[in-house]
């Protein structure tokens, strides 16, 4: 049979027998393996999806055969900008294009034989799903964690919507490459900052890659320091606060910097600096936040105003610069150019004073440790002592206080788009906000005549006046939620996806959560992976989730690169169509080759000739069991040669251990070694071929099922109990031992693993290169560790 016939044959059997269906509240131990679900685009699934979903499928298949009740679901992150942009261009409702894309994705995933429990399939754009996204939002609103605020946002005039930072690249929209500017707009915000400390501390509870945890720690950015208030000369009613981790260096402050958007800037700006300040503010508005952070060239304008150093009372010039952000901290910093590289560069460019307040023998800026100097009552103190003394001084004089601060900012949570979840919020005539009654959920996404926001940023939902006017004195919120809303809790919905009275039942979540293995890209580290942890903690606090961390173990898959070693893209012409590869070589060969390319978490360049080698391996194994012409079994019931039996049990042991370690490439290699050994001994015994089919099943399920069936295996191989190895057959009777003379390798010997020193030396003395290195003499000393080292010390010359 051709591989396409075998694939469709067994996929139908698995579906008919519901081989992958998971049961809630089973008495078996549970295992929850999850992929980051895809956005269903019109371009369909690509090689990256296949590479991402294969590892969890291998683990899921293995765990089922080890007796686990496995939850391995699939769904679609279906709200988002691409479908909406297509609707704007064509007039086709996003629901229609999304449904078509989902059907295409589902068919492809099923064609690849992934062992998903399709009875739990979800889509975030379906009303029976987003009803509960709205329900969870109301919980956030009730707890005071959802609020509205005017904040600077990334506004794209061409797309007429707010964009998240990760949707802006080099000042342009990721989709379409349109210019993006910063403008103030009233937006929904979520108080993720209230959870900063828990999000930080609980990283120690989960098994994630250290680089991912460290990236979240840096993003949360915990700092211990002090807030200090600076008064402004000639403005007795006005002042501003800064936060610093080095309050001990306050005598070294030579200028202050405010964000261009700081509310005090226009008030304190002197007339002679007014036009320069206004021009600078306007130019800054044309830059995205990402650009402002990334820009290495220091720019700024003097306001003409001066602050007063609260400790020394010296006048300090106040500047504005775009590297200071209004929505981070207080939008103001104190600059100590003598001991900060960024401040030093700014001071050099604008000819501002540089004061040394830390002793060192190096030129400024000095950023190391040193005793305080030029600092009045702090002189001679170490950093630690000086900071503590300054804390005391500031608090006694009511000039500041000790404080912990985080870089993490609240989550900007609204979009001026059509294709998203409507907010279940009503606004009174006097601007007060109230929740839509729970029994009216879901607030359905209404029909609109135009999917485009207005030029001023009013969302498309505002076009449907009948929908907006909830009652005579109440209007609906017309912004929609971001795509990250539905993906921040979908893993919980999978535990009980058909529940119509709650987002999920307590019992189902208690049984399945947390996710045991989550696989997806590292690019989601400070987006989805952080937001999901936040929502889970909120749901835990309100008594809905039984856990406060959603993903116990996280793994990142490496990218499949083009043959040229570059990221696959249409523009480079290096895309390898997964469907074509599967058609030519078969799904199983593609799955195995993805594993065989290298370690799961490393990027791997595609090599078209490499998949041919994997295909040959599968064909060679099949020919040991099945006659190519008749399709009948040619396996025997003969006993195994001792060498084959030992290698079989070593293979069972290694493949089992390597699957657990997600070292899939070495599993394939080990099975190839076993197949070569079978050909060497012309061994076609069922006693090795049946367990080999079981070992192959997680990687090449269609081939394994065909082998199992033809060999007379009981039931389905995908549910057959995993083979057991005999420990006594996994150890070697002999070992190849390197022989050193005076520490240099001179030859090898094959000896029993239990050989004593005398036996080892006797064997070594029969090796010509060893006796030559000893000048035909007896060694004066022997260093021997059985099975590990034999070092002979030659007599001194």
Question: Is residue 402 marked as binding?
Answer: no
Between the two ends of the chain, the Cα-to-Cα distance in Å is 73
718 CA to centre of own chain: 30
HEC profile of 296-352: CCCCCEEEEEEEECCCCCCEEEEEECCCCCCCCCCCEEEECHHHCHHHHHHHHHHCC
DSSP-derived secondary structure for 346-412:
HHHHHT------B--SSPSS--S---B-S-GGGTT--HHHHHHHHHHHHHHTTSEEEEEEES--PEE
Residue whose C-alpha is closest to residue 421's, from 479, 462, 474? 479
> Strands 734-741 and 789-793, how do they pair?
parallel
Alpha-carbon distance 483 to 504, whole Å? 21
Alpha-carbon distance 699 to 106, whole Å? 20
CB neighbours (10 Å) of residue 254? 19
**230 touches 242 (CB < 8 A):** yes
Alpha-carbon distance 672 to 650, whole Å? 13
**248 touches 384 (CB < 8 A):** no
Q: What's the Cα-to-Cα distance from 343 to each of 300, 541, 655, rounded to whole Å?
A: 12, 43, 56
Q: Does the N-terminal peptide bond of residue 514 adopt cis geometry, omega within 30 degrees of 0?
A: yes
**532 touches 487 (CB < 8 A):** yes
CA-based torsion, 364, 365, 370, 371: positive or negative: positive
Alpha-carbon distance 61 to 656, whole Å? 12
CA angle 49, 166, 173 (to 5 degrees): 100
**632 touches 622 (CB < 8 A):** no
**Residue list for the binding site:** 570
Question: Residues marked as binding for ATP?
Answer: 570
């Amino acid at each position: 049979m051709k591989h396409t016939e075998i694939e469709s044959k067994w996929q139908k059997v698995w579906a008919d027998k519901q081989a992958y269906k998971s049961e809630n509240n089973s008495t078996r131990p549970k295992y929850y393996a999850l992929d980051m679900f895809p956005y269903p685009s019109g371009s369909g699934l690509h090689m990256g999806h296949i590479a991402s979903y294969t590892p969890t499928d291998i683990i899921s298949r293995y765990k089922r055969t080890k007796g686990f009740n496995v939850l391995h679901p699939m769904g679609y992150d279906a709200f988002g900008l691409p479908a909406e942009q297509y609707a704007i261009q064509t007039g086709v409702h996003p629901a229609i294009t999304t449904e078509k894309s989902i059907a295409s994705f589902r068919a492809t995933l099923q064609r690849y034989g992934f062992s998903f429990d399709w009875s739990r399939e979800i889509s975030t754009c379906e009303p029976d799903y987003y009803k509960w996204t709205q329900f969870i939002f109301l919980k956030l609103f009730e707890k005071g964690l959802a609020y509205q605020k005017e904040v600077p946002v990334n506004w794209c005039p061409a797309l007429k919507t707010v964009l998240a930072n990760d949707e802006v690249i080099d000042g342009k929209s990721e989709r379409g490459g349109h210019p993006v500017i910063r403008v103030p707009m009233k937006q929904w915000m979520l108080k993720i900052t209230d959870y900063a400390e828990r999000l930080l501390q609980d990283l120690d509870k989960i098994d994630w890659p250290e680089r991912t945890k460290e990236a979240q720690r840096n993003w949360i950015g915990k700092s211990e320091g002090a807030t200090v208030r600076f008064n402004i000369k000639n403005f007795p009613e006005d002042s501003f606060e800064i936060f610093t981790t080095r309050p001990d260096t306050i005598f070294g402050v030579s200028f202050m910097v405010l964000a261009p958007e700081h509310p005090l800037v226009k008030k304190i700006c002197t007339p002679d600096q007014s036009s320069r300040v206004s021009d600078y503010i306007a130019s800054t508005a044309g830059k995205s936040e990402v650009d402002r952070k990334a820009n290495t060239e220091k720019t700024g304008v003097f306001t003409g105003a001066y602050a007063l150093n609260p400790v020394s009372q010296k006048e300090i010039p106040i500047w504005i610069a775009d590297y200071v952000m209004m929505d981070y901290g207080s939008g103001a910093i104190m600059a100590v150019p003598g001991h900060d590289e960024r401040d030093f560069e700014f001071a050099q460019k604008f000819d501002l004073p540089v004061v040394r307040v830390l002793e060192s023998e190096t030129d400024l800026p000095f950023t190391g440790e040193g005793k305080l100097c030029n600092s009045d009552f702090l002189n001679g103190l170490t950093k630690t002592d000086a900071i503590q003394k300054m804390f005391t001084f500031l608090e006694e004089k009511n000039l500041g206080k000790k404080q912990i601060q985080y870089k993490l900012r609240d989550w900007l949570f609204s979009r001026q788009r059509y294709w998203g979840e409507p907010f279940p919020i009503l606004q009174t005539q006097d601007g007060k906000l109230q929740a839509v009654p729970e029994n009216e959920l879901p607030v359905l996404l209404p029909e609109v005549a135009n999917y485009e926001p207005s030029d001023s940023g009013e969302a498309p939902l505002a076009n449907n006046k009948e929908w907006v006017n909830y009652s005579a004195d109440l209007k609906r919120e017309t912004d929609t939620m971001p795509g990250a809303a539905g993906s921040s809790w979908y893993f919980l919905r999978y535990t009980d996806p058909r529940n119509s009275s709650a987002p999920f039942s307590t019992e189902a979540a208690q049984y399945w959560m947390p996710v045991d293995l989550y696989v997806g890209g590292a690019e989601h580290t400070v987006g989805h992976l952080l937001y999901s942890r936040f929502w889970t903690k909120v749901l835990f606090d309100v008594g809905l989730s039984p856990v406060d961390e959603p993903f116990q173990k996280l793994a990142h898959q490496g990218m499949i690169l083009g043959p040229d070693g570059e990221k696959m893209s249409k523009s480079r012409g290096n895309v390898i169509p997964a469907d074509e590869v599967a058609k030519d070589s078969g799904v199983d060969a593609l799955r195995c080759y993805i594993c065989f390319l290298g370690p799961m978490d490393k990027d791997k360049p595609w090599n078209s000739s490499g998949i041919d080698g994997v295909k040959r391996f599968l064909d060679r194994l099949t020919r040991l069991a099945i006659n190519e012409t008749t399709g009948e079994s040619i396996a025997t019931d003969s006993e195994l040669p001792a060498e084959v039996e030992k290698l079989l049990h070593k293979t069972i042991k290694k493949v089992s251990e390597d699957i657990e370690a997600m070292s899939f490439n070495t599993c394939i290699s080990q099975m190839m070694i076993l197949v070569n050994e079978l050909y060497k001994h012309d061994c076609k015994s069922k006693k090795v071929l049946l367990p080999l089919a079981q070992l192959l099943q997680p990687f090449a399920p269609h081939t394994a099922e065909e082998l199992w069936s033809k060999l007379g295996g009981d039931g389905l191989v995908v549910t057959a109990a995993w083979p057991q190895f005999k420990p006594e057959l996994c150890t070697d009777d002999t070992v190849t031992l390197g022989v050193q003379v005076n520490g240099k390798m001179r030859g090898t010997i094959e000896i029993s693993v239990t050989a004593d020193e005398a036996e080892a030396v006797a064997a070594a003395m029969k090796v010509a290169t060893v006796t030559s290195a000893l000048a035909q003499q007896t060694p004066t000393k022997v260093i021997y560790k059985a099975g590990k080292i034999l070092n002979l010390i030659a007599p001194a010359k």
